[in-house]
A and B are shown apart, each in its own frame.
Chain A
């Protein structure tokens, strides 16, 4: 299968090229298409920055990166990438339906492919069927993130980037959304890059977990989770195999911090 992401000696930073503060340094990363990658690391390790380079929100200072075999810019112009932010980033003046439809309302002129209006399907899929006419402030935190995910999925992107999307939710809601996300992923087979600071979430969701260290951000652990799980990335949260894998991730994370 082709690779969704290929990064070679990737340097990313803020500021001018000569006086940059490096956030990621010499990162090599290959992500298989259709896989679910969890990115774990202490704050400041550049995990969100990595997503922003993939989404073409940030230019790397050095090295190369290809996304779905093309430049990040080409992929963004085709709307083949969906982004889910930590705060749901719903526009408070738009109804739930209009928030999900936002990708149909903006950027169409620059879009290099047509996307279908699947708003109703997505609302039903995300369990928001009766909520289309509500305003974001009338929803719970979990519902708001569901709307944000529906919006990101509207263009049926091949790549879904999620930046700590469930970080602000309570544990029960978070667990439920984790399961819904996995079900979605199994159905769509999109590639998902999922940034989190929760070891349990990273281990439960990811087919593979990478751990980044800070100052500058670099890869310190790359762990295949499939040996710890059943087929199709299924596992139980209490499974001893998963718990031992989490211990291994924890020690890597402790060394990285």
Chain B
């Protein structure tokens, strides 16, 4: 039997309680157990970095934000456009989709040195890596989404003598939106990963660079602060996608 849903007040209170209990355990239990601060600094120590080094943190957030955003837009746009091309030309899809799938199996970490070789050390290679990560899930989801209209829906448009263009705008695209947004949600997190991975390999600024520097200098409170900031960036992007989705899909 399915359990009854939680009371609204509890549905809010319980996650807050869960997070608070873990933060408290982290703050007091870990030092008591003898876990050294250079491995796991306490939440207050991490918060202290935000007070002391705010300029440093946000100075490094900006390049990562720009790279992740640009990669998100470019990668998803490319995925959507290629999907549109593929569903309108079965020949093109049959010829090139397997190769695209093959490229997808290359781990992005293995691909990034090549991208940096091609594009140098500026922001461009990070944007490209973030775009590549976003590209594949969106391409695959968008192809499936554009093909997801039912036979009778296609027949309805045929009875109405709709053009291909009208079938695309009035049927296929709206049908594809739910699947597009589910891949955009994933991409909101992976775009940040792509930007940070790119910064690891060759950069002196950005959250990825900050993470590497902090690791080598044993500044673990700074490392954790950079991690908190990068996950906040993903969360903000994710929320933006969800807001957009609520406006675009009302049913």
Contacts and interface: CB of A to CB of B under 8 A. Distances in A.
A106 B166 contact: yes
Interface string A120-143: 000000000000000111000000
Interface stretch (A60-68, A89-97, A175-183, A203-211): A89-97
B160 interface: yes
Contacts of A86: 152
A229 to B, nearest CB: 31
Interface in B157-191: 157-163, 166-167, 170-171, 174, 177
B131 to A, nearest CB: 29
B150 interface: yes
Contact of B161 (A77, A92, A93, A105): A77
Interface in B111-153: 150, 152-153
Contact of B160 (A79, A85, A93): A79
B175 to A, nearest CB: 9
Interface stretch (A18-26, A107-115, A166-174, A216-224): A107-115
Contact of A83 (B159, B163, B174, B250): B159
Contact of B170 (A76, A79, A106, A111): A106
Majority DSSP secondary structure for residues of B touching A: helix
B251 interface: yes
Interface string B215-251: 0000000000000000000000000000000000111
Nearest to B154: A57
B155 interface: yes
A69 B183 CA distance: 51
B156 interface: yes
Identify which of A92, A103, A105, A107 gathers the most chain B CB atoms within 10 Å of its CB.
A107
A87 interface: yes
B119 to A, nearest CB: 40
Contacts of B163: 106-107, 109-110
B160 A107 contact: yes
Contacts of B177: 93
A91 to B, nearest CB: 7
A102 interface: yes
Contacts of A85: 152, 155-156
Interface size for chain B: under 10, 10 to 19, 20 to 34, or 35 or more residues?
Answer: 20 to 34
A55 interface: yes
Given A105-B170, A135-B251, A136-B251, A89 B160 contact: no
Contacts of A55: 155, 159
A83 B156 contact: yes
A106 B251 contact: no
A91 B250 CA distance: 12
Contacts of B161: 76-77, 79, 107, 110-111
A109 B162 CA distance: 8
Contacts of B156: 83, 85, 89, 102
A93 B250 contact: yes
A181 to B, nearest CB: 19
6 contacts: A83-B156, A85-B152, A89-B152, A91-B171, A92-B251, A106-B163
Interface of B: 150, 152-153, 155-163, 166-167, 170-171, 174, 177, 249-251
